[in-house]
Amino acid sequence: MSEISSSCASQVITCKAAVCWGVGEECKVEDIQVEPPQKCEVRVKMLYASLCHTDIVISKGYPIPLFPRVLGHEGVGVVESVGEEVNAEDFKQGDIVIPTFVSECQECENCLSSKSNLCLKYPLTFSGLMLDGTSRMSTVKGQKMLYHLFSCSTWSEYMVVNVNFLAKLHNWGAHGTTTPPLSHASFLSCGFSTGFGAPWKEAKIERGSTVAVIGLGAVGLGAVEGARKQGAARIIGVDKNEMKREKGIAFGMTDFINPENHQSQHDQDHNKSVSELIKDCTDGMGVDYCFECTGVASFINEALVATKMGKGTAVVIGTSSSPTLQIDFLSLMSGRTLKGSMFGGLRAKTDLPILINKCMNKEMQLDELLTHEVPLTDINQAFELLKQPECVKVLIKI
């Protein structure tokens, strides 16, 4: 570790961050203090972040109402300083990094298995604290502790993160103008990567498969792109927002269903369910794979029912605040599979670098995701923009 980095690592930094003080409250951009990185941690100067539906759900107190809290788990930044026992070959001052919120120790039972990407040694945390059970952030006034979000808090000018929940962007920008802007790297932290990974790593769909994607936000568009890359023959996108038709086609969607535009020919007062509409597109058979990307609890059952009897698989990747849901028992007993997914089944060290290379080579259309941009000081505007029909992804300039 360099002398400069050692010096920086011993100082508390006062900076701006978006703090959420309670369930459903607006974020307030205010001064906070960010402590030095401890053992196996780095402090990151954030450059860009983005807003995900998961941030909204957590701001409403799910799964645990921990406040005050600095939200944000998608973003890209530069390492400002490193703590003890951080290998310089892994992370050093000046490295461009993104948070991953899932880890991969490559030693535990899950990491050595091909069945899960959820590390047992460094598990996903919902405590809002670092691995040692403490926070690295506090308010300037009153010195009140601030909770993190997962293992990071990207809506802050500086944040501290454990190295096990961080990925380095090797050579991003080395190809000049042919490389996507650094701002786009923030979209690799969660939503789009989660969607892309689900057909590839979680479902492992076969070439020629039929696929349905419920919800064409950033996660859903990632699932469309992932299904296309895996060689799906048909990709049916479902969204009540007609403006998502064009976006879906850009990522490889072959068919589009707007549930609000369809009614039964036999009963004009009966709106067809999403599963019925998907089956109408597949001669009543259903699809091989259906990806639920909205987090709406009722759509999880619809995703299951929309798949083929005996072998269909529904994968849940949208974040929901509903603690329980109802599942059609007969559909489940008829040989269909319902599977949950975290980060699309992607492994932080094994798979994410592959995804990063695809983005650097412009094999993935990150440009199509960015629709709006706001500074950190206007963070609450990002929440409003996400409600707009044309909005897919809001970039937050730190």
What are the residues whose beta carbons fall under 8 Å from the beta carbon of 323, sequence distance 6 or more?
A: none
User: Rounded CA gap, 379 and 239, in Å?
Assistant: 26
For the CA atoms of the chain, what is the radius of gyration?
21
Give the per-residue pLDDT at 188: 85
- What are the structure tokens assigned to 370, written together? 């960015």
Q: Which domains does the chain have, with CATH numbers?
A: 13-189+366-397 (3.90.180.10), 191-343 (3.40.50.720)
**Smallest Cα–Cα separation from 201: which of 345, 350, 352, 317?**
345
Residues 256-281, mean pLDDT to the nearest whole number: 80
User: If you average pLDDT over every residue of the chain, what do you get?
Assistant: 91
Q: What is the pLDDT of residues 199-230, one digit of tens each?
A: 999 999 999 999 999 999 999 999 999 999 99
What are the residues whose beta carbons fall under 8 Å from the beta carbon of 327, sequence distance 6 or more?
A: 300, 301, 304, 338
Report residue 2's pLDDT band, with 50, 70 and 90 as the boundaries.
very low
| Cα angle for residues 43, 195, 357 (degrees, 5° grid) | 60
What are the residues whose beta carbons fall under 8 Å from the beta carbon of 1, sequence distance 6 or more?
A: 9, 82, 86, 88, 92
Q: What is the pLDDT of residues 340-353, one digit of tens each?
A: 999 999 999 999 99
For the cut 70, the answer to whether the pLDDT of residue 268 exceeds it is no
Give the per-residue pLDDT at 63: 87
**Smallest Cα–Cα separation from 287: which of 191, 199, 222, 346?**
199
Q: Where are the alpha helices (DSSP H) in 179-262?
A: 191-197, 218-229, 244-251
